[in-house]
Amino acid sequence: MARSTAKAPKSAVKSIVELVLTVAIAVGLALLIQAFIVKPYRIPSPSMVPTLDVGQRVLTNRLINHPSVGDIVVFHPPKGADPQTPICGNPNQGEGHGQACARSTPGESSQTFIKRVVGGPGDRISIENGHVRRNGVLEKDPYIAPCGQGDGCNMRTPITVPPGDYFMMGDNRGESDDSRFWGPVPDKWVIGVAFFTYWPPDRIGLL
């Protein structure tokens, strides 16, 4: 009996230490996964309606920074996206000029956006009634909301996406602040590709 009583406190301390180490390792792994592999993101605006609603939550794959056309990506836009009226790197392009913005302003914004890739490096892009014409072919886009009559709905003079850049647009074409107005996004500003939505429960699924 004496031996059993002596060992009990040591066994309890050992269990506590193991529990603390297990929790610490689990927390550390979770932080590493979020920092380098998978990161959750909350949809802040209606720019991706009807695909993604305000408040919906998605997971992004941070290992991909060279997305494909059609991918939904989380990224930092250029600083030209920061003002209330976006700024294009070429003052003769963008809203009111009948041509999308082909060159972004220098510098990376601290904002985080989520949009769909509609054009990659070297693609020729124009906009017709909110639909993208890429390399002469009108996109198949059953996922978008109608554009309406704003300047961004018709930019029929083609522009070419620079090497290493991606042209981003929201699915809610008439209510999206995107590459049409502040230009393409360099691949180094891409945070990751959204692949799964986990909230609300009735919209759980792959993107």
| Gap between the Cα atoms of 197 and 56, Å rounded | 7
Q: Which of 7, 11, 39, 47 is catalytic?
A: 47
3-state secondary structure string across the chain:
CHHHHHHHHHHHHHHHHHHHHHHHHHHHHHHHHHHHCEEEEECCCHHHCCCCCCCCEEEEECCCCCCCCCCEEEECCEHHHCCCCCCCCCCCCECCCCECCCCCCCCECCCCEEEEEEECCCCEEEEECCEEEECCEECCCCCCECCCCCHHHCEEEEEECCCCEEEEECCECCCCCCHHHHCCEEHHHEEEEEEEEEECHHHCEEC
Name the nearest CA neighbour of 70 among 201, 171, 206.
Answer: 171
115 in active site: yes
Omega cis (within 30) before 158: no
| Gap between the Cα atoms of 184 and 35, Å rounded | 25
39 in active site: no
Q: Which of 104, 109, 115, 176 is catalytic?
A: 115
**Active-site positions?**
47, 115
